[in-house]
């Protein structure tokens, strides 16, 4: 089943509407990034403009529209999905990363001299806007950032979300709000800044010990924050803040203003004030409101690193959450195994059952992202998502990839497991084993303190590279503490920039998730979360290593055990021993039997 007929009947009409407005406004090319005024990964419906116009539902992609061309740039994670969803839309798939210019460079190369490129500056990062302006100027092309065509053509555009904001309170919070604000102000003085403008929603939520539900899967709320020496101003829909919380915020020196008032207040910032902004996490449209004479200090917010380095108290809660999450997964996998071959189970069923199992667990709030349950060929799409219109029945022989996670009051989880359905083939088991070898290699690694995270990527890839196998995505991303499932500053990906900001620090929680994808056949990914910790100091300095946090058996039916060496077998046996010891007290009946059977030594 597919939904191409509905896409074909709506997307071309929307493109035609947009092109009509572009013609009237003398815009030669329209740039539509996947972004909101906070440069979020997951977007409220109000800013799903790229999805609305293109019909492509992946979380990342950049759309360019001209009078005679429309192209969607996506990376390798989305090539198959985009090819399917764009069919009949009139939009061309552009495979980013295949020696082709990215969307901004394409605009520089193809817009006629003297033309105009339009984009909504409210959703365009300062860094991108500056680069694009500079490059376009060389060809006498104007970048117009005061363009929001969607206000006119998107008649049923969703309103801004209005969910209540609530406090992330004891016992889950290790530092009080005023302590975090004081630490931030100390950091500002070190940078020579008088004030700090924050637009990133997870930074604001962490700093103020607040959470919300304005964005699917992330416990965040729409807001801006201006922190000054003696006060902080939170720009938020004040209807979301109950009176007791408002009084608590005011007691900590946090004044509330309407969300839309941020432009007015920024226009009132005094001349000579040194304002810290992160040009990669603040939009061009936002800083356009600043009056002349405000001095911009540019750099990564001190909040980013403080948020990434979880305290020991935080990690204690995360370990407890991992036990709850692992127990939920055992209950799900026991159910799945007992119902295979007896009931019709689809990829959608997996999502429903795994979410239900988590919902029965202490402290569960929501999934941390849309569950990826992908059987055989669907697993070859790293960000595949089953829909009622297009999904597979899980039957026969092969591999089921399940990538899922939960938001709990005490932490955020993200785990991928491969599940044997029937009898997986030899090549499938070889792929699974190579991927596991890569995960084990990085999980066991020790590395010098101060190493930059992209430099660790090759450790996980080496077992795959040795067989001339590779994967297109990064190996690891940071994970928040009851916050975003993807957070920085660390990124274990060799294509990422190895800057000073990407250094690994104790307390960071990071995923390890190598993979292998064979289009049209199957995909493999195995993922655990780990915490960076001190490993000791010797003649060559201080070293770090990883504590594995995730607790869930690895299906050995998907493996070629003879491909594992003695150290890899020892790691797997030690891991399964710990999984059993920590999860068994939380389980009973079928789930406990399943756990015992799936943690046997190899």
* Backbone Cα Rg of the chain: 25
E-assigned strands of 184-231? Answer: 195-198, 210-211, 224-228
Q: Which pLDDT belongs to residue 4? A: 41
| pLDDT tens-digit series, residues 458-484 | 999 999 999 999 998 999 999 999 999
Domains of the chain in start order, with CATH, are: 4-153 (3.40.350.10), 166-307 (3.40.350.10), 309-597 (3.90.230.10)
Q: Region 272-290: what's the mean pLDDT?
A: 96
Other Cβ atoms within 10 Å of 389 Cβ, number: 10
| Separation CA 571–CA 443 (nearest Å) | 9
Alpha-carbon separation of residue 380 from 60, 75, 385, 460 (angstroms):
17, 14, 11, 19
| Separation CA 553–CA 530 (nearest Å) | 16
Q: Which pLDDT belongs to residue 550? A: 98
Average pLDDT for the chain = 94
Q: Which pLDDT belongs to residue 180? A: 98
Q: Residue 192, class by beta-carbon neighbours within 10 Å (0-12 exposed, 13-18 middle, 19+ buried)?
A: exposed
Q: Positive or negative, the Cα torsion across 525, 528, 532, 535?
A: negative
| Separation CA 217–CA 211 (nearest Å) | 12
The candidate with the shortest Cα–Cα distance to 542, out of 448, 442, 445, 444, is 448
pLDDT bin (cut points 50, 70, 90) of residue 81 is confident
Report DSSP state, residue 568.
Answer: H
Which residues touch 407 (CB under 8 Å, ≥6 apart)?
A: 217, 218, 219, 364, 365, 366, 367, 368, 482
| Separation CA 143–CA 417 (nearest Å) | 46
Q: Region 24-44: what's the mean pLDDT?
A: 95
pLDDT at residue 6 is higher than 70 = no
Q: Region 42-57: what's the mean pLDDT?
A: 93
pLDDT at residue 572 is higher than 60 = yes
What sections of 398-456 are H helices per DSSP? 426-443
Q: Which pLDDT belongs to residue 389? A: 85
Angle at 60 between CA 54 and CA 62, to 5 degrees: 55
Q: Which pLDDT belongs to residue 460? A: 98
Cis status of the peptide bond prior to 202, with omega within 30 of 0: no
| Separation CA 379–CA 515 (nearest Å) | 10
| Separation CA 333–CA 195 (nearest Å) | 51
The candidate with the shortest Cα–Cα distance to 225, out of 285, 284, 168, 184, is 184
Q: Region 290-301: what's the mean pLDDT?
A: 93
pLDDT bin (cut points 50, 70, 90) of residue 8 is very low
Q: Looking at the chain, how many residues does it have?
A: 602
| Separation CA 81–CA 88 (nearest Å) | 14
| pLDDT tens-digit series, residues 361-379 | 999 999 999 999 999 999 9
| Separation CA 54–CA 33 (nearest Å) | 11
Q: Is residue 331 within 8 Å of residue 583, measured between CB atoms? A: no
Share of the chain above pLDDT 90, in %: 89
Task: For residue 166, list its beta bridge partners.
Answer: 211
| pLDDT tens-digit series, residues 529-570 | 999 999 999 999 999 999 999 999 999 999 999 999 999 999
Share of the chain above pLDDT 70, in %: 98
Other Cβ atoms within 10 Å of 199 Cβ, number: 25
pLDDT at residue 296 is higher than 50 = yes
Q: Which pLDDT belongs to residue 1? A: 33
Instruction: Give phi and psi for 411, each to the nearest 5.
Output: 150, 175
Which residues touch 92 (CB under 8 Å, ≥6 apart)?
A: 69, 70, 71, 72, 86
| Separation CA 535–CA 386 (nearest Å) | 42
| Separation CA 258–CA 4 (nearest Å) | 41
Give the N- to C-terminal CA distance of the chain in Å, as an integer.
41
Alpha-carbon separation of residue 470 from 402, 475, 564 (angstroms):
20, 11, 19
Q: Region 117-136: what's the mean pLDDT?
A: 95
pLDDT bin (cut points 50, 70, 90) of residue 76 is confident
Q: Which pLDDT belongs to residue 383? A: 82
Alpha-carbon separation of residue 164 from 67, 217, 258, 408, 414 (angstroms):
43, 15, 14, 18, 26
Q: Which pLDDT belongs to residue 579? A: 98
pLDDT at residue 590 is higher than 90 = yes
Q: Is residue 402 within 8 Å of residue 417, measured between CB atoms? A: yes
The candidate with the shortest Cα–Cα distance to 148, out of 261, 36, 67, 223, is 36
pLDDT bin (cut points 50, 70, 90) of residue 30 is very high
pLDDT bin (cut points 50, 70, 90) of residue 439 is very high
Q: Which pLDDT belongs to residue 7? A: 47
pLDDT bin (cut points 50, 70, 90) of residue 386 is confident
| pLDDT tens-digit series, residues 215-263 | 999 999 999 999 999 999 999 999 999 999 999 999 999 999 999 999 9
């Amino acid at each position: 089943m597919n939904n191409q007929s509905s896409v074909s009947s709506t997307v071309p009409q929307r493109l035609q509407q947009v092109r009509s407005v572009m013609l009237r406004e003398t815009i030669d090319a329209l740039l539509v990034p996947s972004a909101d005024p906070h440069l979020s990964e997951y977007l409220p419906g109000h800013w799903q403009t790229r999805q609305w116009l293109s019909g492509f539902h992946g979380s990342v992609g950049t759309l360019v529209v001209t009078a005679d061309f429309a192209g969607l740039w996506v990376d390798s994670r989305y090539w198959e999905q985009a090819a399917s969803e764009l069919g009949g839309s009139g939009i061309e798939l552009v495979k980013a990363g295949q020696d082709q210019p990215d969307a901004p460079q394409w605009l520089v190369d193809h817009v006629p001299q003297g033309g105009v490129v339009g984009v909504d500056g409210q959703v365009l990062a300062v860094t991108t806007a500056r680069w694009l302006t500079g490059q376009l100027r060389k060809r006498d092309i104007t970048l117009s950032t005061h363009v929001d065509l969607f206000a006119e053509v998107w008649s049923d555009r969703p309103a801004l979300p209005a969910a209540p904001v609530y406090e992330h309170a004891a016992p889950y919070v290790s530092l009080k709000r005023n302590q975090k604000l004081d630490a931030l102000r100390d950091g500002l003085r070190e940078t020579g800044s008088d004030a700090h403008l924050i637009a990133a929603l997870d930074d604001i939520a962490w700093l103020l010990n607040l959470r919300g539900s304005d964005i699917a899967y992330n416990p965040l709320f729409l807001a801006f924050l201006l922190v000054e020496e003696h006060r902080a101003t939170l720009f938020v829909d004040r209807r979301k803040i109950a009176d007791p919380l408002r009084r608590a915020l005011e007691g900590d020196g946090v004044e509330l203003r309407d969300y839309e008032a941020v432009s007015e207040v920024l226009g009132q910032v005094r001349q000579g004030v040194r304002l810290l902004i992160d040009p990669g996490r603040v939009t061009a449209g936002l800083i356009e409101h600043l009056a002349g004479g405000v001095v911009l200090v540019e750099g990564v917010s001190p909040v980013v690193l403080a948020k990434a380095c979880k305290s020991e108290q935080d990690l204690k809660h995360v370990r407890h959450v991992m036990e709850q999450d692992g127990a939920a997964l055992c209950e799900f996998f026991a159910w799945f195994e007992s119902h295979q071959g007896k009931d019709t189970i689809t990829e959608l069923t997996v999502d429903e059952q795994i979410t239900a199992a988590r919902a029965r667990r202490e402290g569960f709030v929501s999934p941390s992202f849309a569950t990826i349950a992908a059987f055989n060929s669907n697993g070859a799409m790293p960000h595949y998502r089953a829909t009622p219109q297009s999904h597979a029945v899980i039957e026969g022989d092969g591999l089921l990839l399940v990538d899922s996670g939960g938001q709990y009051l005490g932490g955020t989880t993200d785990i991928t497991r491969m599940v044997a359905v029937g009898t997986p083939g030899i090549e499938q088991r070889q792929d699974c084993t190579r991927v596991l070898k890569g995960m084990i290699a990085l999980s066991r690694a020790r590395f010098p303190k101060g190493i930059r995270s992209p430099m660790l990527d090759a450790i996980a890839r080496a077992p795959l590279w040795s067989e001339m196998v590779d994967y297109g995505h990064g190996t690891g991303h940071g994970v928040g503490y009851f916050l975003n499932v993807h957070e920085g500053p660390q990124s274990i990906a060799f294509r990422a920039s190895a800057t000073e900001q990407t250094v690994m620090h104790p307390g960071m929680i990071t995923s390890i998730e190598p993979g292998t994808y064979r289009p049209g056949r199957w995909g493999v990914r195995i993922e655990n979360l780990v915490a960076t910790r001190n490993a000791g100091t010797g003649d060559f300095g201080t070293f770090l290593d990883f504590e594995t946090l995730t607790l869930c058996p690895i299906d050995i039916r998907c493996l070629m055990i003879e491909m594992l060496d003695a150290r890899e077998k020892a790691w797997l046996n030690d891991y399964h021993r710990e999984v059993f010891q920590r999860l068994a007290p939380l389980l009973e009946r079928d789930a406990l039997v399943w756990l015992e059977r799936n943690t046997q030594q190899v």
